[in-house]
């Protein structure tokens, strides 16, 4: 959260705090250059700046790139994260603010080159794109699988409604496998959409509990005609602690009375409800 707050301060003060000479240097280096050159120059500008100005320069660089190469922001963030890892979170935050549509790409590319900063990167990106937590989280986990637990913690920071669920899932689990972390994100998505309520998961791999009115095990969740069956016991040796949920449509009701086709052979009543005497 400190990284995000720092980035927010930089967003409002970057232009004012930087000297005119530094602003001119950034503009000259990034104006009228190719996309490839913009990515390379961005990383050089940040890496060559003093520690005291590094955050401000990172924000200013991303702003300048956004004017001419907005789609290159994920690559610029990745280049900065590679050359100056401690600026990965600041760069990711500003890029997500400028171009939230690229939140997933920003998280994936930055986490891949600076895996140790994956948690900070995800937290920074989701500050501006909180509803895409599953996509952003899974992209970061794929890029930095060893940081799965840190990534889940970062997701929880920007989703306070789901934080109790994440805290419960992570309790007592110092190491979380990538597969288990993705399952947590999938179930958190179900909770956020109202398909499941208060789903509690133990990552140790043994119990899956669901409390609707009271805690119980293997109790089906029935909402809007959907039946979500959660097993009480799962194989702890499985790479994923819980198999993907299976949704089944409600059964088609059977007609209560038989349907008879065609007129009765013994009735004298014809179409229209009229009766005719025999000739």
Each residue's pLDDT expressed in tens, for the chain with a length of 279 residues: 555 555 554 444 555 689 899 999 999 999 999 999 999 999 999 999 999 999 999 999 999 999 999 999 999 999 999 999 999 999 999 999 999 999 999 999 999 999 999 999 999 999 999 999 999 999 999 999 999 999 999 999 998 888 888 888 888 777 889 999 999 999 899 888 876 555 555 454 333 333 333 333 233 333 333 333 333 333 333 333 333 333 344 555 655 555 555 555 444 445 555 555 555
CB 206 within 8 A of CB 217: no
Whose CA is closest to 122, among 203, 14, 3?
3
Distance from CA of residue 258 to its chain's centroid?
51
Q: Tell whether the torsion through CA atoms of 21, 23, 24 and 28 is positive or negative.
A: positive
Distance from CA of residue 4 to its chain's centroid?
17
* pLDDT for the residue numbered 172: 78
* pLDDT for the residue numbered 13: 52
The residue count for the chain:
279
* pLDDT for the residue numbered 39: 96
> Taking the model in full, what pTM does it have?
0.68
Q: Coil, strand or helix: which one is 80?
A: helix
Residue boundaries of the structural domains of the chain: 2-159
* pLDDT for the residue numbered 236: 32
**At a CB cut-off of 8 Å and minimum separation 6, what does 44 contact?**
29, 83
* pLDDT for the residue numbered 17: 80
* pLDDT for the residue numbered 247: 38
* pLDDT for the residue numbered 16: 61
């Amino acid at each position: 959260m400190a990284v995000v707050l720092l980035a927010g301060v930089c967003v409002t003060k970057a232009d004012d705090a930087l000297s005119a000479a530094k602003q001119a240097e950034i503009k000259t280096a990034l104006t009228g250059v190719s996309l490839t050159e913009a990515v390379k120059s961005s990383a050089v500008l940040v890496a060559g700046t003093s520690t005291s100005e590094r955050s401000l320069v990172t924000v200013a660089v991303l702003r300048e790139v956004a004017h001419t190469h907005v789609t290159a922001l994920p690559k610029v963030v990745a280049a900065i994260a590679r050359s100056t890892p401690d600026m990965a979170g600041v760069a990711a935050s500003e890029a997500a603010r400028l171009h939230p549509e690229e939140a997933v790409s920003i998280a994936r590319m930055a986490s891949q080159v600076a895996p140790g900063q994956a948690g900070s990167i995800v937290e920074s990106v989701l500050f501006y794109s909180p509803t895409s937590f599953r996509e952003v989280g899974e992209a970061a986990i794929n890029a930095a699988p060893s940081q799965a637990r840190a990534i889940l913690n970062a997701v929880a920071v920007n989703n306070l409604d789901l934080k109790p669920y994440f805290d419960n899932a992570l309790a007592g689990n110092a190491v979380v496998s990538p597969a288990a972390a993705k399952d947590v994100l999938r179930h958190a998505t179900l909770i956020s959409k109202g398909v499941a309520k208060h789903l509690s998961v133990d990552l140790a791999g043994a119990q899956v509990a669901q409390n609707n009115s009271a805690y119980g095990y293997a109790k089906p969740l029935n909402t809007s005609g959907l039946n979500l069956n959660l097993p009480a016991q799962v194989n702890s040796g499985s790479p994923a602690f819980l198999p993907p949920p299976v949704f089944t449509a409600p059964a088609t009701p059977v007609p209560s009375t038989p349907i008879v086709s065609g007129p009765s052979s013994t009735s004298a009543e014809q179409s229209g409800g009229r009766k005719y005497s025999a000739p």
